[in-house]
Structure 1
Amino acid sequence: MRRHATPFSLVLLGLGTFLLVLAPLLAWYVTPRVAVNPVDVDTTAVYTGTGSVFDAGRLRTVPGRHITVTQRVRGDVAASERSGHAAVWDVVTTVDTDETLPAADPHDALDLTPHRWVSDRRTNRPVHCCGEQPYIEGEAYLKFPFDVQRRPYRWWDNTLGAPVVLRYQGVEKVRGYEGYRFTGSVPATRTGSRPVPGRIVGAPDRPQVLAEEWYANHGIELVVDRTTGRVLHAQTGPRRTLRAPGAHRDAAVLLDSRKLAFTPATQRAAVAQAQRDGERLRLLGRTVPFGAAVAGSALAVAGAVLVIRGRRRPG
């Protein structure tokens, strides 16, 4: 008589088949839907360094000042949900010296720049909706896309009002955590104009002049987590100046620093967050699918062998 497969062999075969189906499902379907920009972000990045700033009281540039740049990012959850697929982040950037930093109101800062960035949660590309301000372009701003590649990226420079090409420069560790290093710079570029007293730009006989605003960057350097696209370390060298209309030389320096970089506390927070998010994504996208595929193959083979043996006729 023909013997039938045992329930145990069928269970092994079914479990193995389930794991084999689960492995690619986790890697190719679930993980891309988990790797998305958050909508409830609330982070603060602080840069510090030294440089020259314009003293509005004395109408002249003062060198050797300690400069602090604070960038606060908050997600607008309600606006993100209404958009359906975008992350809406409100960003406020302040520039302070030691004299203005203790102020309780950020509007008392040396410089205050509020804006709104809207990005596709999966691709990190700008989405032009939801009150975006300004019109942001490029493929990276505040963070890089997930799964960072060793290639140039177009990073949005909010002061320039345009993307800057950052090129891959190798691997670098931040607090013992490895990331990709990207660098770039900005040549002197006119970014706008503003009315100022004539004597600031070398025209003392004119009470007010529509001066030209110029911006350059000595060097932008970012170290980025490969898995999540989070910035582990950032360094920038902004130079903002004024020129008389049509002039070819700077007449006044508003801000000039060779190096403004993440503070140690900002580095630690960025690395810790990248480690947490990266481990979850690697677990879901690599470790678990690989383990499921190996275990599923073994169980399916074992179950199939037992089923075949159970169906053999006795000799």
Structure 2
Amino acid sequence: MRRSVSPLALITFGFGIFLLVLAPMLAWYVEPRAKRTPIDTDVTTVFTGPGSYFDTEAVEVRQDQRLTITRHVLGDVGDSDRDTAVWDVSTTIDTPRSLPLKDPRKSLQWTTERWVTDRRTNAPVHCCGEAPRPFQGEAYLKFPFDVEKRSYRWWDSTLKGSVPLRFAGTTEIQGYRGYRFTGSVPPTEIGSRQVPGRLVGAAQGQVHAEEWYSNGRIELVADRRTGRIIHASVSPRLALRAPGGKGGDKVVLLHGKGLEFTPATQRSQVALARDDNDRLELVGRTAPIAAAVTGGVLTAAGVWLLVRGRVRGARH
């Protein structure tokens, strides 16, 4: 008796059904799970711009200097897991004198932090030796995935608090479009330090001067899909006041006037954003559409081959 069903028909039909099942799985199951903060990140961003700083050796404020902020973010793969990203962050502020030394210990300012976030939502996770503890907000070194046109709470490490950033439209960085957010920090007392009284106009030999911080303009541009920051600009100001805050600022320790990502940092961040988007586009759109179309064609071809085989079998 002649066989009415060919192996080719069964294989074609079976593979077509497999692709039709795979398409929604890629779009609805795999793609959302691909939207997770990376744990193996190793990124350096550099801000530069004009400003002034207090030279402790010369005991005077040096004006019209070029300041450099360098931030290195290194993911701790060992302490991170499927749900939690642990990032160690080192930030230095350098002057023209300290920058060539390439030694954070000799920088104008050096801080280290350990940030722990939920890999899916970007919300803070209070564990794993986080520092500062606890930090809060929605945006830190990145925004959440699928950035919306609304205000976000951005964590300011110097303020040790969150700052509202308002959506301010879209803009292009190195030819790549992102969402722009802006905000500021009004003069705020953040602590105190012991200094010679004469620095702040006090009669005592040593006093605990008040530290006041402000940031005239914060501007961040984020990639819409991944939340990666492709451009940033800040204008931090740190000053000392006499105990009680009388007389306003007496000594300006640091004043950056529009410190922003260097062109090289912009290009690097944009390249990373493009790469992230390409991967998500492949998993969430390109592959599902290709699987659905190919699966539909193969399923239809398989059905046709099965029917034709049965018809031929019936004739014989």
Structure 2 length-normalised TM:
0.92
For 1:222, which of 215, 220, 223 is the aligned residue?
A: 220
Aligned residue number for residue 110 of structure 2: 112
| In the alignment, structure 1 residue 160 sits paired with structure 2 residue 124 | no
2:208 is the counterpart of 1:213: no
Show CA shifts across 1:233-287 (max 9, x none). 1111111111112225212111112200011111111111111221111111111
Q: 1:209 offset after TM fit, Å?
A: 1.2
Deviations along 1:279-300, whole A, 9 cap, x unmatched? Answer: 1111111111111112222332
**Equivalent position amino acid for 1:71 in 2:** R
Quote the Cα distance in structure 2 between the aligned partners of 1:304 and 1:152.
53
Cα pair 1:59 1:200 within 8 Å, conserved: no
- The residue that corresponds to 2:72 in the other structure is 72
Where structure 1 has 5 or more consecutive residues not aligned to the other structure, the ranges are none
Aligned residue in 1 for 2:186 = 187
Q: After superposition, where does 1:102-141 map in structure 2 within 5 Å?
A: 102-134=100-132, 135-141=134-140
CA RMSD of the aligned region, Å?
Answer: 2.0
User: Could you tell me how far apart the structure 1 residues matched to 2:123 and 2:280 are?
Assistant: 20
Q: CA deviation at 1:308?
A: 4.7
SS of residue in 1 equivalent to 2:163: strand
What is the match of residue 297 of structure 1? Answer: 296
> Does structure 2 conserve the Cα–Cα contact (< 8 Å) formed by 1:60 and 1:200?
no
Percent identity for Structure 1 against Structure 2: 56
The residue that corresponds to 2:13 in the other structure is: 13
Moved more, 28-37 or 64-73: 28-37
Counterpart of 1:175 in structure 2 is 174
- Following TM superposition, by how much is the alpha carbon of 1:193 offset from its aligned partner in structure 2, in angstroms? 1.4
Equivalent residue for 2:283?
284
Paired AA for residue 126 in structure 2: H
Q: Name the stretch that deviates more: 293-302 or 62-71.
A: 293-302
Distance in 2 (CA, whole Å) between partners of 1:87 and 1:118 is 6
Cα deviation per residue 1:119-161 (whole Å; 9 max; x = unaligned)?
1122221111111000211111111122222222111111111
Alignment of 1:50-65 (within 5 A): 50-65=50-65
Instruction: Please say if 1:273 is aligned against 2:276.
Output: no
CA distance in structure 1 between the aligned counterparts of 2:197 and 2:121, rounded to whole angstroms: 47
Match of 2:95 among 94, 97, 101: 97
SS in 2 for 1:170: strand
Point out where structure 2 has 5 or more consecutive residues left out of the alignment: none
For 2:208 and 2:4, how far apart are their aligned partners in 1? 93
C-alpha separation between the residues in 1 aligned to 2:308 and 2:243?
Answer: 91
Distance 2:242 2:4 in 1: 94
Task: Give the number of equivalent residue pairs.
Answer: 311
Q: Please give the TM-score of this superposition, normalised by the length of structure 1.
A: 0.92
The one-character-per-residue Cα deviations of 1:184-209 (angstroms, maximum 9, x if unpaired) are 11111111111111111111x21111
Cα distance between partner residues in 2 of 1:50 and 1:258: 6
Q: 1:307: how far off? A: 3.7
1:55-113 alpha-carbon deviations (Å, 9 max, x no partner): 212333222111111111112222224xx531111111111110111224211111111
Instruction: Tell me the CA shift for residue 44 of structure 1.
Output: 1.0
Letter matched to residue 195 of structure 1: Q
